[in-house]
Structure 1
Amino acid sequence: MSSEDCPDVGKSSWPELVGVAGDVAVATIEKENPSVNAVVITPETVWTPAIFCDRVLVFVDANGIVNSVPTVG
């Protein structure tokens, strides 16, 4: 399964959030697509890679700044 397998449920990618604070990104994502749950992933966060169509992982650097494009999956 890949993120392409997720049904179209609204906005699914936020390239404009690269470079902003993680908490701001989470609020923006959940406002623009209420059907997803955005989760900040810090360099110290332990997480299991898996595709969830109702989740957006927001990867941030050590300063809490988004460093890759958040996408559904």
Structure 2
Amino acid sequence: MSFCQGKDSWPELLGVSGKKAVKVIEKENPLVNAIIVPPTQTILPSDYRCDRVWVFVDDDGIVTRVPVIG
């Protein structure tokens, strides 16, 4: 359970394109910024933020993890 406002996870976006996922996430929760994370990026900030959603994608740009606020 999240203390952040609005929708906080998007399991239905697994397997879709990262660009489409970003649009859906930001439309369904305008309080967040969705950020695509390519497979080559290994270091990310570890702070928890209610205004951020990491969108992990594979080499083809397909979402590989459920996007969640954090």
Structure 1 vs Structure 2: percent identity of aligned residues?
54
The equivalent residue for 1:68 is 65
Deviations 1:20-58 (A, max 9, x none): 000000000000000000000001124324221110000
Distance 1:65 1:29 in 2: 15
What is the RMSD computed on CA atoms of the aligned residues? 1.4
* Structure 2 unpaired stretches of 5+: none
* Structure 1 unpaired stretches of 5+: none
TM-score normalised to structure 2 length: 0.89
Mapped contact 2:4–2:50 kept (Cα < 8 A): no
Structure 1 stretches of 4+ moved >3 Å: none
Match of 1:18 among 14, 31, 34: 14
TM-score normalised to structure 1 length: 0.86
The equivalent residue for 1:41 is 37
Residue 31 of structure 2 corresponds to residue 29 of structure 1: no
Offset at residue 17 of structure 1 (A): 0.1
Distance 2:16 2:26 in 1: 15
